[in-house]
Amino acid sequence: MTSAVVDIPDQTGRVALVTGANSGLGLETTKALLKSGATVVMGCRSLQRGESARQSLLERNYPPSVDLIALDLADLESINQAAKTLKSQYGRIDLLINNAGVMATPHTLSKQGLELQFAVNHLGHMALSLALLPLLSSQPGARVVTVTSGVQYMGRIAWDDLQGEQRYDRWAAYAQSKLANVMFALELDKRARAARIDVASLLAHPGLARTNLQPASVAANQSWQEAFAYRLMDPMFQSAAMGSLPQLHAATSPTAHGGEQYGPRFNFRGYPKRCRIAASALKDAERQRLWSVSEQLLRDRGAALTAIIDD
């Protein structure tokens, strides 16, 4: 097992929300932030799995400043409710780690009828970030870190079929959602700067990390070929703790800034370094288009976007 070490500045007094905190990179991020003194709110779609993860942390003597909130990113009502609860219970968020994700799922719809990967990975996190912006912007030095993937470099936005209604390829839909993460995070950073809002938006990708993401995909698709491929690729994978370092670095390092992306030094594995952003996310017009389309999709379905920043 690789031992993961990264210097995290003292986070005492800060409140972090980590989405998908009960498993994989989200759980490792929660552990590291707790050790650094932060209060961590674990945002989990299953309260049972979330509570079991929280209890296992307490049993292992992690600091007790760890709470749990119901947050299903495939349901805009759940996102609205979580934002309300966070506002009334904490009144502040210093770090939002948009970490939760699903990968290469069979064609499935979210509660509001949107393609699941686009809905959970991109739209849900956009809705959450915008609903929490007033809480974030009241905290000096607040950061939003959105977790993407190396597949961003292969992703393309299917403008005429965003929901995969005409043709659905589960891997192309994953790559689209992860490119959308990048476009959203960069556009949020740009708009926050233009509006002089003190919230930095950064990106991180973990390389290849051993988590539940791959087994969940194999199980959902009943694919022995995919299971076999992961077995062959196993030596390339790093631990979940190592995979969480880029997002921890992006969230806490004084040398990391809005609009930057961090990933493993050797693409798939290694300690974090600043890394290249997918060229297709650097086009202003495309990013603005995705923002407008996404905002419309969310508003039409009742998302409480309390703080849209105009371009």
Ligand X SMILES: NC(=O)c1ccc[n+]([C@@H]2O[C@H](COP(=O)([O-])OP(=O)(O)OC[C@H]3O[C@@H](n4cnc5c(N)ncnc54)[C@H](OP(=O)(O)O)[C@@H]3O)[C@@H](O)[C@H]2O)c1
**Which stretches of the chain bind ligand X, using CB under 6 A?**
19-20, 22-26, 45-46, 49, 71-74, 99-103, 120, 147, 149, 205-206, 208-209, 211-213, 216, 243
Among the listed residues 153, 174, 230, 262, the single catalytic one is: 174
Which residue number, 12 or 46, has a Cβ lying nearer to ligand X?
46
Structure-block tokens of residue 207: 């390389």
Q: How far is the CB of 310 from ligand X (least distance, A)?
A: 28
Instruction: For ligand X, give the closer residue by CB, 40 or 74.
Output: 74
CB-nearer residue toward ligand X: 75 or 189 = 75
CB of 21 to ligand X, least distance (A): 6
CB of 13: closest distance to ligand X in angstroms?
A: 26
User: Both tokens of residue 180?
Assistant: 């959308």
Q: Which is nearer to ligand X, 96 or 213 (CB)?
A: 213
CA distance 123 to 177: 9
Decide if 271 is catalytic. Answer: no
Return the sign of the alpha-carbon dihedral for residues 99, 260, 66, 56: positive
Question: In terms of CB distance, is 136 or 242 closer to ligand X?
Answer: 242
Chain centroid offset of residue 211 CA: 15
**Smallest gap from residue 50 Cβ to ligand X (A):** 8
CB of 12 to ligand X, least distance (A): 26
The catalytic residue positions are 174
